[in-house]
Amino acid sequence: MNGLERPARLNRVVLAVTGLVLLVGGGVVVAETLTTLNLLRPDAPLVPGDALPPTWVWYVAAIGSAALGLLAIRWLVAQADRTPESSTWRYDTEPGSGRTELAASTAITPLLAEIEAYPGVHAVHGTLAGRLDAPALALVISTTRDGEPGAIRHALVSEGLPRLRRALAIDELPTTVEFRLTDARGPRTPARRAHREQAPDLGASPRDDRGPAPAENRSRAM
C-alpha cells in the first residue's frame, strides 16, 4: 500500500473492527435467543439491583465516550485529507562529495504548470509522495465545461509524465488521476490566456502589411 491510499488503511481498520464487534454481538444475541449459550436467564434483570453504580463508573464512561468522539473526528478528518504526504528526496553521491536534496513539491511544480496550460483544464492540484525508489503521484484535474478528459489524459501520458520521469531520473512513476468536471468557461489564469493569444492561427491567411495593390495591378489581374 503506497502513500496514495493514505485514508484507505484507516477505513479498512475501522470498518473491520466495527464489523467484527457487530458480528460477535449479533451472534451472541441470536445464540441467547435460541438458548444455545444460556449465559443469561430470560427472567434475570439486565442490571443486578437498583443501586447507583460507583462514581468511577461514570468517569470511565465519560472518558470512553470522549475517546470514541475523538476517534470519530479523526476518521472524518482523514476522509477530507486525501492527498499523500510529500517528502524530500536525497540524491546521494560519492562519500565526501556531498548530496543533493530535492523537495517533491518543488519537483512537481513544472508538471502542474504544464497541465494547467492544456486546453480544457481549469485547475490542477498534485502531490508527489513516497521515496525516490518508490514514488507515487496523485493528480486532481478540474476541467472546464468544454474540457475533454480523454484528450487531457492523452497529453499527460504522452508528454507530461515522460518528461517528469526523465527529469527525475526514474523509470516508473505510479500515477492516479482524478477528473472533476466543472461549469467553468474558458481559461482561468492570465498565463494560459496569454499563451493562447500568442499561439499562431494555422487557419488564417498571412497578413499583408503592404496595403492594397495599385489599381493597374488589380485591373491586370482581372
Question: Tens of pLDDT along 8-45?
Answer: 677 788 888 989 999 998 888 888 777 777 777 767 77
The strands making up 175-181's β-sheet, listed across from edge to edge, are 121-131, 134-143, 175-181
With 0-12 / 13-18 / 19 or more C-beta atoms within 10 angstroms meaning exposed / middle / buried, residue 184 is middle
**Rounded-to-integer distance, Cα 100 and Cα 93, Å:** 8
In which residue ranges of the chain is CATH 3.30.70.1350 found? 88-196
Lowest mean pLDDT segment, chosen from 103-107, 169-173, 198-202: 198-202
Which top CATH class is 88-196?
A: alpha beta
Backbone angles phi, psi at 214, to 5 degrees: -60, 160
Instruction: For residue 86, name the pLDDT band (cuts at 50, 70, 90).
Output: low
**CA atoms within 13 Å, Cβ hemisphere of 126:** 26
pTM for the model stands at 0.51
Single-letter amino acid, residue 187: P
**Rounded-to-integer distance, Cα 184 and Cα 205, Å:** 32
